[in-house]
Amino acid sequence: MKNIVLTGFMASGKSSVGKSLAQKLNIEFIDTDNLIEQNLNKKITDIFKENGEQYFRQQETKVIEELSDLTSCIISCGGGVVLNKYNIELLRKNGIIINLYASAQEVYKRISNNKDRPLLQNTTIEKIQSLMDYRKPFYENCDISIKTDNLSVEQITDLIISKILV
Ligand code: S3P
C-alpha cells in the first residue's frame, strides 16, 4: 500500500488524524517533527531558538530523505514541509499527499495557549491568514484536499479512508 502523507497548516489536525488512521488501518504512524526531535534530542522550539529555522528545514529534509523508501505508513508532516518542492517529490514517490486545511479562525482557536509552535507565538488571526495565503499554492500541490473545520477526527479519518479506497 502507498503511504498516506498528511500535509497542512499548523493545527489543521495532521497528528490526531494520522494517529487515528494508523490505528484504524493497523499500520505505522510516523511524524516528521517527532523524528527531528528524536534525532537531535531537542524540542522543536529549542531547535528554532538555538539553531534557527534554516537548520530546522535542513533536518526536515534529511528526515524525509530517510523515510522516502518506506511504504504502507501514515506520515504526518510538519506544516512547512510543503515549502520545499524536493520534500514533496520524495514523499510523492511512495505516497498519496493529503492536505488538511482549517480556517485561520479555527487554527487560532486551536493554538491559543500552545507554546510548542515557534512560528505562531503571540500571533493573531490576521497573521495566521497572511501566512496561510502565502502557503496556499504549496498546500494545493496535493492529491486530495480536506477541509477539517467542524469535522471530528473520526469523521476526517473515515473520509480519507473512503477517498483512498475507491
Ligand atoms: C511548522 C510547523 C510545525 C513544526 C514547526 C514549523 C511550519 O509542525 O514543524 O514548528 O512551518 O508550519 P505542525 O504543523 O505539526 O504544527
How big is the chain, counted in residues? Answer: 166
List pLDDT tens digits, range 130-166: 999 999 999 999 999 999 989 999 999 999 999 997 6
For a mutational test of ligand 1's pocket, the pick from 12, 99, 117, i.e. the residue with the most ligand atoms closer than 8 A to its C-beta, is 117
Q: What share of the chain is helix, strand, coil (3-state, %, to 5)?
A: 55, 15, 30
Which of 105, 73, 106 is CA-nearest to residue 6? 73
C-alpha cell at 22: 494508523
Q: How far is the CA of 24 from the centre of ligand 1 (A)?
A: 25
Which residues contact ligand 1 via a Cβ below 6 A?
10, 14, 33, 44, 78-80, 117-119
> Burial code of 139-148, b = ≥16 C-beta within 10 A, e = fewer?
beebeeebeb
Say yes or no to pLDDT of 114 above 90: no
Look up residue 107 and give its amino acid. Answer: V
User: For the residues 14-25, what does the mean pLDDT come to?
Assistant: 97
Which of 97, 112, 93, 95 is CA-nearest to residue 10? 112
Q: How far is the CA of 80 from the centre of ligand 1 (A)?
A: 6
pLDDT value, residue 158: 97
List pLDDT tens digits, range 52-91: 999 999 999 999 999 999 999 999 999 999 999 999 999 9
Please tell me the residue having the least CA distance from ligand 1 atom 4: 78
For a mutational test of ligand 1's pocket, the pick from 19, 33, 49, 60, i.e. the residue with the most ligand atoms closer than 8 A to its C-beta, is 33
Please tell me the residue having the least CA distance from ligand 1 atom 2: 79
Can you give the pTM of this predicted structure? 0.97
